[in-house]
Amino acid sequence: MTTRFALDRSRSIARFNSGGARVRDAEFKESEHPRSPNGEFGLGHGGGASAAPAPAPAPAPAPAAAPAATHKPVPNLPPEPGTAPVKEGYVRLYHQTGRENIESIRKNGITIEHAQGIEGPRAVYAGETPFYGSAESRPTIEFQVKKEDWDSPFVLRDVTPEDFIGVHEPWHSKARYLEEHPESLKQTLSGEFDDLEGDYKEAVDYIKEKYGTSKTKPPPIDKGSYKMHPEVEASMNATLQNLNDRFPQLENFITKVALTPKAGNEWDNFDKEMRIGGFGLDKPLAEVDLQFDKDNAPDFDVKGGMTALLTHEYGHALNDYIITHSDDAGKDKWYDGKKRLEKELGSPSEYGKKNTGEWLAERFTAETLGLHEPVLTNFIKECMSELPAPKPKKGKKK
């Protein structure tokens, strides 16, 4: 029997292996707010009789209350090969070598004395393209020298670390993929790729070291009288924690996630809480996701299960946060920017055409799920970075 996690996992690996486009397709989500009179919005997410069973327990999310650890910064990956600018009058070159030479080269550069091509006489061999294979297949030093120091295929002097643009290792492209895809990042941090080996393992270890110590907590879930399947609860916590890690200002802004009897979902600007229909959440995650999927027509909203639903509401919360904390100039920038992007980017779904608020929530969801470039997300980050820092919350926490 195949579980949802097994499926998602193999898809993710295929994706991050190829570094290619997201292949995940129809998944679902229920919609929200005011239910439309024509009944387009899904009603409760009970039922789900035909859903595939998913017996595997959900992996536990990263511990929510990580101690304020001494979080040593992990260096960023070099820019993707061939993308960083080169100085005027310089030429971009690549030198490929064995893995065993990398550490020494990082420290000392590539010296004529020590350098060896993979074959041939001693010299600093280089090429204007990586000639033994791509940077994904073997360690590759990307560097720049003045044009007069380059006499193909030789560099006529030692290459020092100051000349380096990037020291690329085969696992970097895999780590870069994980970094750029929030869903895959979440899966990595929850341990779903822990058994991978080779370059994958190096990528996973790097990501876990860099992002593993979660700096935020997800908002508490007020279940009321509703029961939740542990998979569903773990998935909700992981999604919200992942979002809070990206937007830590919202950690103390969103007061809670309340399960309610209403079939729709909403962000409440007044109480600063997210409300999610509580009925049917006691079923396995695959079933819940599938039910959301069925509730609305195919292009009605951005599909992506419980994750998409929460991400949509989180988009409303971000909007509320920015408006609440902006001065007049900040508000103008935010309103004008949203309108401009809405026009430029179009809506990722039917529901996003309803108004700018729903456009924002749908577009944010689509970007977070990796369906579109993070254009809106970058604008959100920019506006948030210009807000005053959040005041620490007073009062003791239990």
Residues that bind Zn ion (CB under 5 A): 32, 358, 361
> Please, how many CA atoms are within 13 Å of residue 291, restricted to the half-sphere of its CB?
23
Cβ nearer to Zn ion, comparing 157 with 262: 262
Q: What's the CA gap between 327 and 331, in Å, rounded?
A: 6
**Which of 142/358 has CB closer to Zn ion?**
358
Q: Which is nearer to Zn ion, 32 or 231 (CB)?
A: 32
Choice between 32 and 251, CB closer to Zn ion: 32
DSSP 8-state code for residue 68? -
Nearer to Zn ion, 129 or 269 (CB): 269
Q: How far is the CB of 31 from Zn ion (least distance, A)?
A: 7
Beta pairing class for 256-260 and 221-222: parallel
First CA to last CA across the chain, in angstroms?
Answer: 42
Q: Which residue is nearest to Zn ion (CB)?
A: 361
Sheet with 164-168: strands ordered across: 90-96, 140-146, 164-168
CB of 237 to Zn ion, least distance (A): 21
- Using alpha carbons, select from 322, 321, 315 the residue that is nearest to residue 377: 315
Q: How many Cα neighbours within 13 Å face the side chain of 141?
A: 30
Q: Of 168 and 338, which CB lies nearer to Zn ion in the complex structure?
A: 338
CB of 360 to Zn ion, least distance (A): 9
Q: How far is the CB of 320 from Zn ion (least distance, A)?
A: 12
Shortest distance in whole angstroms from residue 25 CB to Zn ion: 22
Q: Which is nearer to Zn ion, 160 or 269 (CB)?
A: 269
H or E segment and range at residue 151: strand 150-151
Place of tokens 């509703």: 226
Tokens in use for 274? Answer: 């997210």
For residues 144-164, one letter each, b for 16 or more C-beta atoms within 10 angstroms of the residue's C-beta and e for the rest, the string is bbeeebbeebebeeebeeebb
Least CB distance to Zn ion at residue 316 (A)? 6
Calpha distance 13→35 (Å, rounded):
38
Q: Minimum distance from CB of 118 to Zn ion (Å)?
A: 56
